[in-house]
Chain A
Amino acid sequence: AQSVSQHNHHVILSEAASLELGCNYSYGGTVNLFWYVQYPGQHLQLLLKYFSGDPLVKGIKGFEAEFIKSKFSFNLRKPSVQWSDTAEYFCAVRIDGQNFVFGPGTRLSVLP
C-alpha cells in the first residue's frame, strides 16, 4: 500500500526564517501530489498541487514545492515565513485518480 512520510513532527522558526518541510511517498508509478494546510480552528485548505509538467510548483501565500521523482519527494518551501503561517501542514498523494493518502503532518510554529 502506498504511504506518505513527513520528516518533521514539529518545526519552530522565527519570522523571516526560511522553511523547508520534507515529504516522501512510496509508489513507483505516476502520482499526483498535494500540500494542504490547516490553520488553527479551520478546515484543510489546498496550498499547491502537482499533476504533471514543471516539477517546481508555486502555490498560495508564497509557498512552492519541488517534485523530485528519483527521490520520491515533494518538499515544501517558503523563503521567509510569517507568524500567520503557524499551522499544520499535510502532504498527500493520489494514485490513479483514487483516494488521497495523507502524511502524518508537520506542525509549524512561527515565533513573532
Chain B
Amino acid sequence: DTGVSQDPRHKITKRGQNVTFRCDPISEHNRLYWYRQTLGQGPEFLTYFQNEAQLEKSRLLSDRFSAERPKGSFSTLEIQRTEQGDSAMYLCASSLEGGQMNTEAFFGQGTRLTVV
C-alpha cells in the first residue's frame, strides 16, 4: 500500500501519560499535515510541514502538543500529560506542492486516542 500510513491505529492511555503517534506520508510528497477530528466534527488543523520545516501551528494547539519531521519523510506527533479532552481521532495527510502545482491532501486512516 503506497498511501499515507499511521501507527498505531488505536491507543488507550491513562490521563497524564505521554503518547506519540507516527505518520508515513506518500513517499514523494513534500508536505505533511496533522489534523484532529472528534465525533460529529470536521477535521481540525493542528500543524503542517514543508519537508522538515514546520510552517504553521494552530494557535489553538496546547503547548503539550509537539510535532517533528526530522528528515522530511515520516513525522511524529507527541502529546504530553494527556487529558481526557485529548481523546479524538488524529489524522495525518500529505500532499505534493511546488511551483504552480496545486494538489489535494491524501489522508491516512488515523490514530484513535482514548484517554481514560
- Where the two chains meet, the residues of A that have a C-beta atom closer than 8 Å to any C-beta of B are 4, 9, 32, 34, 36, 42-46, 49, 51, 90, 92, 94, 97-105
Contacts and interface: CB of A to CB of B under 8 A. Distances in A.
A98 B42 contact: no
A105 B40 CA distance: 7
Q: How many B residues touch the partner, as a band?
A: 20 to 34
A74 B55 CA distance: 28
- Lowest 9 CB-CB distances: which A-B pairs, in order? A102-B42, A44-B107, A102-B43, A46-B104, A43-B109, A104-B42, A43-B107, A105-B42, A99-B45
Given A44-B107, A97-B97, 10 more contacts: A32-B102, A36-B107, A43-B107, A43-B110, A44-B43, A45-B107, A46-B104, A92-B42, A104-B42, A105-B41
Contacts of A104: 40-42
A49 B43 contact: no
B33 interface: yes
Contacts of B102: 32, 51, 94, 97
A99 B56 contact: yes
B9 to A, nearest CB: 11
Contacts of A44: 43, 91, 93, 107
B92 to A, nearest CB: 10
11 contacts: A32-B102, A43-B108, A44-B93, A46-B104, A46-B106, A92-B42, A100-B43, A100-B45, A102-B35, A102-B42, A105-B42
Interface string B65-105: 00000000000000000000000000101000100001011
A interface SS class: strand
A103 B43 CA distance: 8
A41 B110 CA distance: 10
B57 to A, nearest CB: 10
B21 interface: no
A71 to B, nearest CB: 21
A42 B102 CA distance: 25
B42 A90 contact: yes
B97 A100 contact: no
Given A44-B91, A51-B102, A100 B110 contact: no
